[in-house]
Structure 1
Amino acid sequence: MASLIFLTHPEVVIDPNVPVPQWPLNETGRRRMELFADALSGVLLSSIHASTEQKAMDGAAIVAKRLGMPYRTHEDLGENDRSATGYIAPPEFWEVVGEFFARPHESIRGWERAIDAQSRIVKAVSRIAAEEIGDTLIVAHGGVGCLLMAHLQQVEIGQESRPQHSGGGCFFVMDRESFAIRQDWRTIEEASFEDVRA
């Protein structure tokens, strides 16, 4: 019973002058990813996957280097497309995010609709799960992670369980074949993989 671990990238360098998909992990984010790599040391991963956004690739690269294996990138693992607005500073950003989840069938300020982002991430994860034969790690993003969780929990978008760390770096574990949830959201600091075969 192989597992799929879905991890949201941790803290990033916020630079309003750089497109959001190009933001790298900051020092805190990199340090937390090192902790996650340590926690994975007893898991025999067969593959590592990441979105094409820099922060996700940074996270995947840290784990891949520690475990001595490559990682693959997939554009359809990316965060919901927010290029219509670019960077929006908090607290306004969180207000728009709230609208994004509350009105999933509408485009909020030109953003990709939540329902479309959900369909995309579910298809991407399903494809990766079908292609692999062992335990798999996906490093992606919080927004699409919540949309994926809504699908897994079979609830309306916005009613799913949510990661509890404001800086990201949260994960859940699912059965790769059945898509049943084995572990709900945990932070990197709470990483435990007893029920992931080693």
Structure 2
Amino acid sequence: MRALYISHPQVRIDPEVPVPQWGLSEVGRARAEAFAARGLVPADAMIFASDEHKAVELAEMIARGAAVTVDAQMGENDRSATGFLPPDQFEETANRFFATPMESVDGWERAIDAQRRIIEAVAGAMARVQPGQTAVFCGHGGVGTLLKCYLGGWSIARSEDQSRLANPGGGNGYAFDLMARKLYCDWTPMEDLTAALIQGA
């Protein structure tokens, strides 16, 4: 069954606020609103989101008043052990996170565990979706990449991350079929997503 995974776009970075509570920036909100306004997602689609504020914001825009199912198990890899990191330090730590998936990097959730968690969360959500109904998952670049690696049958690698393949600020998506373990596209900026890609021809 076809589904869309889409990461939240740019956020308001505030070192004094826990990362899961960050909201979309003006740029991120404008991009999300423009995507929602295109009406690519059917009105009867099931919309799922991580419980992080930025993902819920995106989901609510896409849902256009419809219900959004929020699941904490769809959240980004747990980085609470370090909290906010300056960009250069974050990039170095994220590189190690992807490079050593069986190890905890500076107390972060292991990549292999985060991958297992997002796969199980998406599988549980898809079990609630009716045949022919579109499912949209609003989440994050890290776990989105881990899910994509599973779907593609690839080892966990930073080279598959959205920052390497699409808009580095986020707001990228890919269409997939979990049961068939199939990707219909790679990370694609939300501006370039189409109804045919999301819903199938």
**TM-superposed deviation, 1:176:** 5.2
CA distance in 2, matches of 1:70, 1:44: 11
* Corresponding letter in the other structure for 1:5: L
> Is the aligned partner of 1:84 residue 2:81?
yes
Task: Pick from 100, 115, 119 the counterpart of residue 116 of structure 2.
Answer: 119
- Is 2:194 the partner of 1:192? yes
| Alignment-derived partner of residue 127 in structure 2 | 130
Identity %, equivalent residues: 40
Deviation beyond 4 Å, 4+ runs, structure 1: none
Within-5 A mapping of 1:29-178? 29-41=28-40, 43-65=42-64, 68-133=65-130, 134-158=133-157, 161-163=160-162, 164-175=166-177, 177-178=179-180
| Greater displacement, 39-48 / 86-95 | 39-48
**Normalised by the size of structure 2, how large is the TM-score?**
0.91
Deviations 1:74-96 (A, max 9, x none): 00000000000000011111000
Q: How many residues align?
A: 195
Residue 18 of structure 1: aligned partner: 17
Alpha-carbon distance change, 191 to 20 in structure 1, aligned in 2, over 3 angstroms: same
Aligned equivalents of 1:159 and 1:45: distance in 2?
34
Deviation at 1:38, TM superposition (A): 2.6
| Cα shift readout 1:21-45 (whole Å, capped 9, x = no counterpart) | 0000111111111122133446354
- C-alpha separation between the residues in 1 aligned to 2:135 and 2:84? 31
Letter in 1 for 2:27: T
TM-score, length basis structure 1 = 0.92
Kept after mapping to 2: 8 A contact 1:9/1:141: yes
CA deviations 1:85-135 (Å, max 9, x no partner) are 000011111000000000001100000000000000010011111221111
Residue 152 of structure 1 aligns to a residue in which SS? helix
* CA RMSD of superposed structures (Å): 1.7
> Is the 8 Å Cα contact of residues 15 and 84 (structure 2) preserved in structure 1?
yes
The answer for unaligned runs of 5 or more in structure 1 is none
The residue aligned with 2:6 is 7
Inter-partner Cα distance in structure 1 for 2:134 and 2:98: 30
Q: Secondary structure at the match of 2:57?
A: helix
